[in-house]
Structure 1
Amino acid sequence: MLIREIQEFQKIRKDARAYFCYLLQRNLPNRLPNIGIDVIYEGLERIVHEIPGANAAYILDAGGKQISKMITVKEKYKNFQVEFNQANRTYFYKAVKEKKCILTDPYPSLIGGDMVVSAAMPIFNDKGELLYVAVIDLPLDEILKFVHQERGDTWAHNFNRVVYGIFAGALFAICVLLFIDGIKMFFTYTINNIDVKKMFESTILITLSLALFDLVKTLLFEEVIGEKEDHPFAIHKTMIKFLGSIVIALAIEGLMLVFKFAMIAPQKLMYAAMLLAAVTFLLIGLAYYMKNVGKDIK
């Protein structure tokens, strides 16, 4: 689940940063004379109450030391205060270095070890001197939920998962039926009677069930569970396996037709030849596709 949440965060990171930095910039004064810590504290209080899911907000001085108590609505964070210097924490040095509001990658919280994301904004006086760094810690799961709700895509996302799940289930049922029928045909006609035609038909059914299984696996993991591979070749790999199985099934069918027509209807051999020619062109196209995909990745 954690890997999935981190992957999901990368998708909504831009929107999350825009929203939380907007809140910080709207509520906190910056680059003005005589900015006191009380004003920063009050601004962070407003933000925390606007985002109930936030763990806590706090203020660091120009050296990275926490100089305020935790601003939070959660009891377990109220009396917690980090005494040591936080200048080496990502949210501090990145905000200071970039001189703008930043949103960190997910990391284990100092309190409890839960995965959190921090939004931090440096506060300067009118002379451009660093005064404070305001920080808000947000749980990773809460930030995902919050941004999806703000974007209004939670319902659509769940609907897509349900639809893809239904299709994956239906295709898996077909896959199982094809496999069972192929195995049954193989043992019924090849072991007892050595029927070559039925043996080929059984092979086709099992091959098609394998192709469908690859398709079901892709739908299930990528669209329902949400565990997508980051490698750029991932989607192409699935397509190649699926098309490869189809090519094998069609080639076997073409071979069957050649034997069948050669024995009972020689005048129809041209149809078998046309099917094999189509399979050949499909195989050439697949090879060209694989070559170009590999070239793009390199």
Structure 2
Amino acid sequence: MEEFLTIYEVNKEKIEDFIINSIHNLGSLKDNEENNFSNIFSVFPSLELVYTVNKDTKIQNSPNYYRNKLDASASNQSRSYIIDKLHFKDKSTAFSSPYISSATRSNCITLTIKEGDIIIFLDFKIETLLERLELIELNKPFHTLTKIFYAIAGFSMVLLALFIILYSLGGFFISLIIHYDFTLDAIFKPIIALTLGIAIFDLAKTILEQEVFFKSYSRNSKVDTRMVIKFLITIIIALSIEGLMVVFKIAIENYTEMLNALYLITGISFIIIALSIFIYLTSKKYK
């Protein structure tokens, strides 16, 4: 939800101008109260709630008009707390800052328009408004399907990472306690497995955070780039440990094979250089 508010703040002027221009094209809004403002609801899919307030007393003098119902219990309540938080575009129109509506329980902004002796309040749902203006891409059925898929894949990766960690620790203790194996392989292989387990878990965590629990809708999101960088760094660490183990093993057993260790370390160095170039280019892109 924080992302919605960020996108809204960046495009605030454009959004407010769009709403005002569209409202002015409808003519007098007060005349639409006879049909429960249905014409206005049809024009604005993001519109959730309409009601009117007395200009002098700041008391609501109409029911809450929703898209498919009305609620008379909201009448005769003071709305001065909202009016005090408005920023005026001109003498007759003003907008509120984003807030959570007590009536709809969604993040919204309120537009107020003075007509005669009343003030008309219109609550717009931010999520739908951003989608309408193509500032976010949101398709709820497809989003639900992808969310389920990512949840299954993410939690499966978490279980796989946990299995790798437990397997490596189990093998390590078996080697030390049962087989009394104190070789480099017995020490370094569990470290490599643990590092790979961390890499898999970190990737799963990023997928679950960004695609399941806190879905990113922004087209310009840096999430994918950060995910690739974090995953590659973990893999580089695992390969570096493997290279260190190979160097020690060859140094102890057979110096003639040291060239193979050099090839491995050189390959890791090329990956580090490629990752550095990737980070540099992406950082320039987002400046």
TM over 0.5, yes or no?
yes
In 1, are the aligned partners of 2:52 and 2:62 still within 8 Å (CA)?
yes
1:187 aligns to what?
173
Match of 2:51 in 1: 57
Task: Report how far residue 25 of structure 1 moved.
Answer: 4.4
Distance 1:189 1:208 in 2: 20
- 1:224 pairs, out of 187, 212, 218, with 212
Gaps of 5+ in 1: 30-36, 125-129
1:162-241 aligned at under 5 Å gives the runs: 162-191=148-177, 192-226=180-214, 238-241=227-230
For normalisation by structure 2, the TM-score amounts to 0.69
From 222, 243, 249, the equivalent of 1:254 is: 243
Alpha-carbon distance between aligned partners in 1 of 2:264 and 2:76, rounded to the nearest angstrom:
74
Among all aligned residue pairs of Structure 1 and Structure 2, give the percentage whose two residues are the same amino acid.
19
Q: Which residue of the partner structure matches residue 32 of structure 1?
A: none
Q: Is residue 70 from structure 1 mapped to residue 66 from structure 2 by the alignment? A: no
Give how far 1:78 is off.
Answer: 4.5
Query: In the alignment, does 2:259 pair up with 1:270?
Result: yes
Q: TM-score, normalised by structure 1?
A: 0.67
Q: Identify the residue that residue 38 of structure 2 maps to in structure 1.
A: 46
SS in 2 for 1:137: strand
Could you tell which deviates more after superposition, 193-202 or 232-241? 232-241
RMSD (CA atoms): 4.6
8 Å CA contact 2:54, 2:119 repeated in 1: yes
- CA distance, structure 2, for counterparts of residue 64 and residue 289 of structure 1: 61
Preserved CA contact (<8 Å) 2:53 2:79: no
Q: Sort the Cα spacing of 1:276 and 1:67 in 2 relative to 1 into closer, same or farther, 3 A.
A: closer
How many angstroms apart in 1 are the aligned matches of 2:82 and 2:173? 70
Change in Cα spacing, 1:279 to 1:44, as seen in structure 2 (3 Å) is same
Deviations 1:126-167 (A, max 9, x none): xxxx986532135678x58x969xx87111111221121122
Paired residues, what number? 271
Pair 1:54–1:291, CA change in 2 (3 A): closer
Question: Given the alignment, which residue of 143, 164, 172 partners 1:157?
Answer: 143
Q: What CA deviation, in whole Å up to 9, does each residue of 1:173-222 have, x standing for no partner?
A: 22112111211121122353213212111110001101111111110111
Q: Distance in 1 between matches of 2:168 and 2:257?
A: 27
For residue 7 of structure 1, the aligned residue among 3, 8, 21 is 3
Does the 8 Å contact 1:179/1:205 carry over to 2? yes
Instruction: Give distance in 1, aligned partners of 2:252 and 2:82.
Output: 84
Distance in 2 separating the partners of 1:83 and 1:278: 67
Give the unaligned 5+ runs of structure 2.
Answer: none
Change in Cα spacing, 1:40 to 1:273, as seen in structure 2 (3 Å) is same
The letter of the residue matching 1:158 is T
Q: Report how far residue 223 of structure 1 moved.
A: 0.7
For residues 84-104 of structure 1, the C-alpha deviation after alignment (integer angstroms, 9 at most, x for no partner) is 5865332xx33436x77x764
For 1:284 and 1:116, locate their aligned partners in 2 and report how far apart those are by CA, in whole Å.
45
Q: Are 1:27 and 1:46, in contact at CA under 8 Å, matched by a contact in 2?
A: no
Q: Give how far 1:27 is off.
A: 4.0
Match of 2:99 in 1: 107
3-state secondary structure, aligned to 1:82 = coil
Q: Aligned partners of 1:285 and 1:64: how far apart in 2?
A: 67
Displacement, 1:68?
A: 4.4
Using the TM superposition, give the Cα deviation of residue 273 of structure 1 relative to its aligned residue in structure 2, in angstroms.
Answer: 0.9
SS in 2 for 1:54: strand
